[in-house]
Amino acid sequence: MSKLPKNFEKTLLGIAGVVALGFAALGFMKSSAVAEDFPAPVAGTPKNDPTIPEAEATAAASSSLKLNRAFEPAEPDGRPVDLFVGVRLFADKNNPNEPVDIVGSGQKAIHEGIPNKWWVETGADPTFANSPERDDDGDGFTNRDEFEAKTDPVNSKSIPPLLNKLAYLKDESTMWYVPFGLESNGKWAPKFTGLSHDGTKLANRVSAVEMIEPGATFFKDGAMAGRFKFTGMVEKEITSERTKLTQRVKFGQYEDLKPNKLGEKYESQYGLPDAQLEASAYHDRTAVLELRAIDNDGKEFKVEERTKFALPPDAPEKNYFLKKVTPDAIEVEYTDAEGATQTLEIKKGGTP
């Protein structure tokens, strides 16, 4: 006698029916989807199948995408196009609802001397009345400075020559003269008198008992110690401006031993009137300078005449030479990009 449930056969028949209905539904859905996507029967290969005319072009496009291609930006009107932003437009203050393409044909220069195209290409802001005098990257150089130097106005690392921002503030000089003093048989006992830039009076002398011979260095100590070398005595004919009389006068001759004035020659006239002392005096000149760029504004530094210096002042290489200092101007010597020696004059109170 069978131990299976009485309704086991009916259960199997029911399950079989459900499975059959499922397969039938799946076949119907697949058939409908195919019919919807491909209303015409698919036959042959895509290459020669007349029912899919785009198949060949699709294959070619897919193949093209796998090639290693170089894409170059288009430049309509001679300017590059930003594919993300497009053409840079501005608003006219008199008609703010009408966008303006400042590089478009027929547009006048917004700022005299600087083409509109330069503002667009560099990203500098042309929308202010004083845009050429503004400093968009904060490096101390105006937009006009950057335009003239062909540097990047929105990159503080790209700057024109620093010498263009060197300012001459004032001259701190010491005025001095070596009065003749005493002379005997070619030996000399000169004096020294001077006035520093801050009003300090300077004085020194060689005593009569220590008279020096040609070739000796003076002074031993004090002001201008070891500064000069006595080279000898000469006589010259001098005509007095007051009396118009001509007479022979002795001059003590000496030369400088200071490194920046090494070998410079001077003369000391016997009996020179005090009224002519200042007109005959010499000067040790020092220029007080300021680099008005790269965060150096307000930081003064001093350079002696005929010495080298660096820009900025703390840079390791001293590429500039202070050739001359006067109360009104300085002359700076430097080597340009082509290797030629150039001299730049900077007036007192300003930059070149």
pLDDT tens track, the chain, 352 positions: 444 445 545 444 455 454 444 444 445 444 444 445 445 555 555 555 555 666 677 777 777 777 776 766 666 666 666 665 667 777 777 888 888 888 877 788 999 999 998 998 899 999 999 999 999 999 999 999 999 999 999 999 999 999 999 999 999 999 999 999 999 999 999 999 999 999 999 999 999 999 999 999 999 999 999 999 999 999 999 988 788 899 999 999 999 999 999 999 999 999 998 888 999 999 999 999 999 999 898 999 999 999 999 999 999 999 999 999 999 999 999 999 899 999 999 999 988 8
Of 139, 124, 135, the closest CA to residue 292 belongs to: 139
Contact (CB, 8 A) for 188 and 252: yes
Helix, strand, coil content of the chain in percent (nearest 5): 20, 30, 45
Which tokens is 57 given?
């072009």
Q: Confirm whether pTM is higher than 0.75.
A: no
- First CA to last CA distance, the chain: 123
Q: Domain 164-171+285-347: which CATH class?
A: mainly beta
List of residues 6+ apart from 328 with CB closer than 8 A: 347, 348
Q: What is the residue extent of each domain of the chain?
A: 77-160, 164-171+285-347, 180-271
How is the beta sheet containing 300-304 ordered, strand by strand? 201-205, 191-195, 166-177, 282-291, 300-304
- Residue 38 neighbours by CB distance under 10 Å: 11
Q: How far apart are CA 200 and CA 282, in angstroms?
A: 16
